[in-house]
Structure formats: C-alpha cells, structure tokens
A and B are shown apart, each in its own frame.
Chain A
Amino acid sequence: MRHPSDIARRAAAASVGLVLAAGAAACGPKDNDAKGSAGDSAPHKGGTLTVLNSEPQTDFDPARLYTSGGGNVPSLVFRTLTTRNRENGAAGAKVVPDLATDTGRPSENATVWTYTLKKGLKYEDGTAITSADIKYGIERSFAPELSGGAPYLRDWLVGAADYQGPYKDKKGLSAIETPDSRTIVFHLNKPEGEFPYLATQTQFTPVPKAKDTGTKYAQHPVSSGPYKVVSNDNDGEHLVLVRNTYWSAATDAERKAYPDKVDVRSGLDSSVINQRLSASQGADATAVTTDTNLGPAELAKVTGDKELAARVGTGHFGYTNYIAFNPKVKPFDNAKVRQAISYAVDRSSVINAAGGSALAEAATTFLPNQKSFGYTPYDLFPAGRTGNAAKAKELLAEAGYKNGLTVTLTHSNSKGFETSPEIATALQDALKKAGITVKLQGLEDNDYRDKIHSVKTEPGFFLAHWGADWPSGGPFLAPIFDGRQIVKDGANFNNGLLDDKSVNAEIDAINKLTDLDAAAKRWGALDEKIGARALTVPLFHPVYKRLVGKDIRNVVISDWTGVLDISQVAVK
C-alpha cells in the first residue's frame, strides 16, 4: 500500500512548508553577494516574473496579512503610509515614506502621529485614494471576520481594545481622525516612537469602502500599488498580477516594478523549487521564490558549483533561536542551573543541526546581530564553540546537583523547524557531557504551541524562536520581557514570566524616543541587562540563502526582510 507513504511524505512536505513560511520572515544577501547575483547589465522593464513558492499566498487581504514591513508580494499591490527602504543590507532597515509625504509627525510626546498623503494617488480603477480609505482599512482589520493581523493597533490606539470593526460597529474608531482627504491623525494611548515602523504594515493600506466585499475581498483587493490582481485561484494558490496603469512611479520612490506581469505559483515541494531554480529552464530562468531557502543539502551541492553559487542571494533577518526557561518550574527556578546549561550548550552541533555555519550564526545575545536592533555584543556565559562542560558541572555542583541532573526538553515534532527534533537531539547530546541527562518531549506542532504559549501549561525547558515585526529592539524585547505583556488567559510570549519594574520602566522610557538611533543604543543595553538573568540561552541567528533564476537581475535584499525584494527584481 503505497498510499500511506504518500500521506507520510505529504505531511513531511507540509511541515517543510511551515519552515519556509517562517523563513519568509527572514534574511537577505550582503551587498557583494547581491552584486554577484544581480548581473552587471542594467535592469529593464518588461517580461514576466515567475514566483515559485511552497506555501500559497493565502488571505490576500490587507486586513488579514501579518507582515514585516508590508510583505513581499503584498507590497506589489498594497501601498501603505510608510514602507521599508528598498536597499541592500543595513540601509534597507530604514523606514521611509510611501503613500505619505514623510514618515509621520509626532506630537504630544509621541502619542499623536499625523500623516499627509502625497498628491495624485490613485486606485487601479483610477479613483483617488483618500485618508478616509486608510482609516477604513485599519478599522476593518479589527473585524473578527478579518482577523490575523499584528496586535499593535489594538494595543496602541485609544479605545481600540474592544472595537469590533466597521461591520458590527458603524461609529468607527475615534482614535483616527481624517480632517481632510489627505490628512490622517492617530491618537495613541501611550508614547510610541516606533509608530512609523508600524505604519508599514498592510493594515495601513487604503480600502475603498464601496469596494469592500468583506471576507471575499481577498479574491480581488483593490490595488493601490504598481500591480493589480487579475486572478487569485483557490485562496492564493495561483496568483497573477499585471501592471496597474494608474500607479505612477512619480508618487512611489521605492517600488521599481520592472516586469509587466508577476505569476505567483505555490504548493511546490521545496526541493523541487530549488531544483527548478538551479535548472532555470524556460520560464524558470526568470523565476524567484519568496518563501523557500536553500536547505543544507542543496547548499552542499550549490557551493560546489560556481555558476549556481553566483545566483545565491544571502540575507539576514532579525531572528533569534533560543532555549527558553520557565523559572516557575524546578530546577530552573535556580539561576545556577540555567547558567550551567548556558555554559554547557554546544552551539556548533546545534548550528550543524540547523544547516551549518552558512545557514546559522552563533548567537550569544538575544537581540539579532544588526545595528538597527541596537546590537551590542556580549557573551555572559562563554561556552566557546562546543560548550564548557567543566564550568557547567561546577555550577551544577554549587546548585546542589553534584552527580548531574535529569531534565525534560520540550520541542515540536515538525521536522526542519527551528524547534525541531534535530536541534533538540543536538542539545541532548551536548548536555550529556556536562552530566545533564535530557529527556526529549516532542509534541505535535499545534500541541507544542498551545503549551509553550499558555502560562498554565508552559514547560520549564523548551526550544523557542522570535522574529521582529520590524527591525528594532522594541517589538523584539517587549513581548518577551515586558511584565505587563504577560497574558494570563491567552497566548503568552513572556516565557520567562519576567515582571521587573526597572525593565518595564526602561521599555517605556525608550518607547518615548522618536530618535530611533538613540533608541536602538538603549535597547542594546537593556538586552544585555536582561541577558544576565539567564532566562534564555540564545542559540543562533539563521542566515537565509536563496537561488534565483539565471536571467534575474537587480536582486535587492534588505536586513529588514532578509529576502530579495520582488518590487526591485527585473527579468530583462
């Protein structure tokens, strides 16, 4: 009976899909790599760009998308108040104006943000984009029918906590004012210096109320960007975009929009995607992928091949894989035990399990190793490359575990994931040297997430990961370490259950800053301060390597998304 093996394989692939979906919020090439792959001749307009993905572009509705900086394919159709700077590397981590004339004017101690729309902005049907449409777009993102977006708007906007969206609540959100058709004002319940970053998310896309079709809007969202949807089969399984003739480059400094047509195909096996990109036959020569990384296996093959290696784009995304402790669970209530484990970890074998040094960089800080996050290098419990078993034993002895101890490491059963069995077993093997016997508790992925994100069921010792909603320390540290963000009766991300006055105060203080560089420095300092508590053991920051078709030009990979920016790619 061959069918079962089918079933098996399919699920395996499905989980691979998840990996890559996670990867989609990941990294891009350093400039030099980019040059290599971009080719030297200048990019031209025209042609069809094919996108080969494993996961379908589901919920193609600006209200439902959860993106970092407006997403990749989505940002071809959805323009937002601000957007990410479409440049390679660190420069790409900056926030820049999009629909708005600037990145926003703060007032009243950064609790009020005012934006003015550019002139001559049009939808795909030629009608003008107004600030009211942006307000409406944000309001509908509160509708339970259209759930899925990031939590910030609900948390920050005045009186938005219980707002149910325009379908149930006709009054609308008083926190957003549109004094005239080009001005929009946001009233926040606390200072948020990073509001410009938030304004890059697709919820800030204008939606013409007349054209809103509720849950069916994803079928054909009204485009404000360079491309419009001509077909969207089976909820993003096959998406075809063509030029939106009403879009003018004059109002959009960021999107290059070289190709005439973008054909997004999905449901492919990751190994097939990479196989096709490397073969680059026919239409695949002008193909890219927005969600599939080179796996270790493919990397091993690619690095052996000059021509292929030249077509690999490398990117970095603000992302950290780490071990999380729950100090409410013995023996992890004892800092010495947590420190011992920090010393004992063998990062090299963990990194190998994650795909090797080319796909993962050892992490000793919780913040990603990028300037925009305020990265401040520190290594408080130096474990070296392969772990410091001696020091670990010593600490264990002090903690009262002379003849070692036995702990249970919880992880997800989904293969290839950052929280996967591979990494768990690597740690299991490494901690053996320090006299720590690790029992593995592999859970089905949903079960795993339920458990680690619920205060009631959170295990004491488990694998976790965190990615940035935008390249800054704020969204990276606050959800994990802000005591006031501990969620008792829902999805909780403060796994260390840390509720420390000084930390909370510092977070508030930094949020007041509208000078993002200054803020970054203080985030870095805060990171080190928290790190001393050994509530987490940072393991590695993933590196994302992706192939592009042989005729692809002008590959731009920012540190914001870490993946090549479709709006910049040319096929001629």
Chain B
Amino acid sequence: MTGFTGFALRRAVGAIVTLLAISVIVYVVFYATPGDVAQITCGPRCSPAQVHQVAQQLKLDDPLYVRYWHFLQGVVAGQDYSTGTSVERCSAPCLGLSYRSDRQVMQIILGKLPVSLSLVLGAMVLWLLLGVGTGVLSAWRRGRLTERALTGVTLAGVATPSFVIGLVLMIVVCGQLELLPFPEYVPLSADPEQWMWNLLLPWLTLALGEAAYFARLTRASMLETLAEDHIRTFRAYGVGERSIVGRHALRGALAPIIALNANDVGAMVGGAVLTETLFGLPGIGQELVHAVNVVDLPVVVGMVLVIGFFVVLANAVADVLYAVADRRVVLT
C-alpha cells in the first residue's frame, strides 16, 4: 500500500501528541483532586513528621512540573530507584513507581494486561460473530417475521444493563444449574482450556450487549448498501439473494463495523471493569479504580496512558483495515 509509511509516521506522531496531552491532563487533575497522597500512603495514624518523610521519599514536595519532567525522563531514559537495601533499575519506558507499593508501574500493568486483553479480545470475537451474524440474518430476512423477532431481541439487548446480564448469567449458570464453576482467571499460558471455560461467562456478559449494537449497525448499513445501484445490477444479472446479501451488501457494511469495533475494543481494555469486578478478573480497569481511590498518581497516569494507547492504536488499525478493504480510501 503506497504511502503507508507516511501514514504510520503521521499516526505515530499524532498518538504521541495525544498521549502527552493525556498525561499532562491527568497530572493536573490529580494535583487538584483531594486526598493527601503522603498521608494515605503512610497510613491514617501517621504523625506529621512521618508523613513529611514519606513525602520526601516520594518526591511530593517538588513542584508539579518538576515531577512531570522526571516522569518524562523516566519514560525516555528509564530511572534508578532504591529499595532501601539495594538500587534497582527501571528501564525505559519507565512509567515510574507506585506510591503505595513501590512496584514498577510497568510491572503492575504488564501483570494486568493479559487479563484485560483475554477478556476484551475474546469477547470481541463473540460479539462480532453474534452481532454481525444477527445483523446479516435480519438484513437477509428483512420484512419477514425473523427480522421482527431479531430486532426485538437486539433492542432488548441494547436496553439491558450489562451488569444485570452478568449477575443473572452467574446466578443461573454457576449457582442454580452448576454448569460452570464460578469464574476465576486462569492464564492462557497455564491452561488454555481452563482459560476458556473460566472466561466464557465474562465474555458473554461483555459481548451480549455489544452484539446487540453491532447487530443494529450491521443491519442498518447493509440495508443502505442494498439500496445502492450496483446491487440492482447484480439482481438484473440473476445473482441470488444469498450472494447479494452475503457478499455485496455485507462488504459494503464492513466500514462502520470496523470503525465502531475499533473504538469499543480500545475503550474496553480499560473500561470493562464491571465484568472484571463481577467475575474477579484482575484487569486494568479494576486496578485503575483502586489506584484512583488511593490517589496513586503514577499508576493512574500509567493506566490511563495504556488505555489511551489502546484506543489510539485500535483506531489506527481500523483505518488501515478500512483502507485495505476499500482501495479508494487514502490514508491520512
């Protein structure tokens, strides 16, 4: 694809600008949020003297811009830090250390990322299958009873809060029917089968509502494509409805699907906290909440940056996919 490197370059620059802006915002915001970090870190009963020591330890006395500058240095060049007994290296890109636990933010994130990714990507496969499938079916059977039924189902899906879905699923499937054990995260590397069984319910919880949206989207854009001239051509050449809907109409509907999918996947990496909490999956989202609650700035910044990174990445990927799908589009 011509000009791809140019595109990649522009996107990379854009992403960096965006992420920098985000990190600045988060820094400022959390500077403004109440909650004395040193006090929280040190514990409620810490004496002022102790709190002061901790503040020094965490370099909280430095002005905001200095702290941010150190953060940037860490990202670019990495940084050394003391565990008290030894000096450790946090190699670039170093997102700093957690105030609470003195662990490297990067380590924390890397610990959580597999969970979030397993959850979101797995769910994505599910909602694409369910959603697009339903959409195609109702576009094909449009005007018939099948479509009415499917429309009803999808609307219901859209209107049901996802935590209700998750709760019910768990009570029924695990509690009453005892079909599955109560989910618990098992790393893919450890045991792929257990990984899948344990993630099945979380995937469903995440996917059902999402699938409904995709079904609606797919149907809508397929109907639009069906109204276009080239479809008329293929009808006039005796091409069957199956191929017209399945090949030509669906192809035309891909663009919006790709776009929405990218957005949601990106956002969910950090946003699927309902599901994470409900099923006890130690993912990014849960960690972010916790970090916010204890004003653990480095972790919050790190998490938000990672989430932002995935959103940006997802959109870039979407554009590439789209350009591959439709050669008329020029990547910019």
Contacts and interface: CB of A to CB of B under 8 A. Distances in A.
Contacts of A479: 45
Interface in A2-16: 2-11, 13-15
Contacts of B178: 279, 281
Contacts of A151: 45-47, 50
B34 interface: yes
Interface in B43-66: 43-51, 53-54, 56-57
B33 interface: yes
A447 B34 CA distance: 5
Interface stretch (B83-91, B142-150, B225-233): B83-91
B33 A2 contact: no
Interface string A121-152: 00000000000000000001001111111110
Contacts of B46: 147, 151, 490-491
A215 B111 contact: no
A10 B182 contact: no
Interface stretch (B168-176, B251-259, B324-332): B168-176
B289 A164 contact: no
Contacts of B170: 272, 275
Interface stretch (A75-83, A105-113, A233-241, A556-564): A233-241
Nearest to A166: B84
B163 interface: yes
Contacts, number: 201
Given A144-B54, A234-B112, A275-B175, A487 B48 contact: yes
Interface string A49-77: 00000000011000000100000000000
B238 interface: no
B280 A10 contact: no
A446 B40 contact: yes
Given A5-B162, A13-B277, A446-B35, A215 B84 contact: yes
Contacts of B35: 446-447, 449-450
A297 B160 CA distance: 22
Interface string B82-109: 1111101000000000001111000010
A491 B278 CA distance: 35
Interface string B27-48: 0000001111001111111111
Nearest to B38: A147
A490 B167 CA distance: 43
A491 B290 contact: no
A66 B181 contact: no
A396 to B, nearest CB: 34
Contacts of B135: none
Nearest to A282: B181
Contacts of B181: 281-282
A150 B112 CA distance: 31
Contact of A3 (B43, B84, B272): B272
Interface in A302-327: none
A347 interface: no
Interface in B192-235: 206, 209-210
A154 interface: yes
A269 B41 CA distance: 24
B293 interface: yes
Contact of A7 (B82, B84, B182, B273): B273
A418 B44 CA distance: 17
B279 interface: yes
Interface residues of A, number: 72
B161 interface: yes
A9 B278 contact: yes
A18 B293 contact: yes
Contacts of B264: 3
Contact of B43 (A140, A149, A235, A276): A149
Nearest to B295: A446
A216 B274 contact: no
Nearest to A17: B290
Contact of A233 (B111, B175, B276, B289): B111
Contact of B53 (A140, A144, A489): A144
A164 B42 CA distance: 13
B298 interface: no
Contacts of B118: none
A248 interface: no
Q: Which of B43, B51, B84, B295 has the most C-beta atoms of chain A within 10 angstroms of its own C-beta?
A: B84
A270 to B, nearest CB: 10
Interface string B239-268: 000000000000000000000000010011
B289 A491 contact: no
B138 interface: no
Contacts of B50: 144, 147, 151, 154
B278 A66 contact: no
Given A2-B210, A5-B161, A284-B182, A267 B281 contact: yes
20 contacts: A2-B210, A3-B268, A6-B272, A6-B275, A7-B289, A9-B273, A18-B293, A58-B100, A144-B54, A145-B83, A151-B47, A167-B82, A212-B84, A215-B102, A218-B101, A233-B111, A266-B280, A267-B277, A272-B279, A275-B174
Given A149-B43, A151-B50, A234-B112, 15 more contacts: A6-B276, A7-B289, A9-B163, A144-B53, A145-B57, A147-B41, A147-B50, A147-B54, A151-B47, A161-B49, A214-B82, A267-B281, A269-B280, A275-B171, A490-B47
7 closest cross-chain pairs (CB), A and B: A10-B273, A446-B35, A214-B84, A214-B83, A3-B271, A6-B274, A490-B48
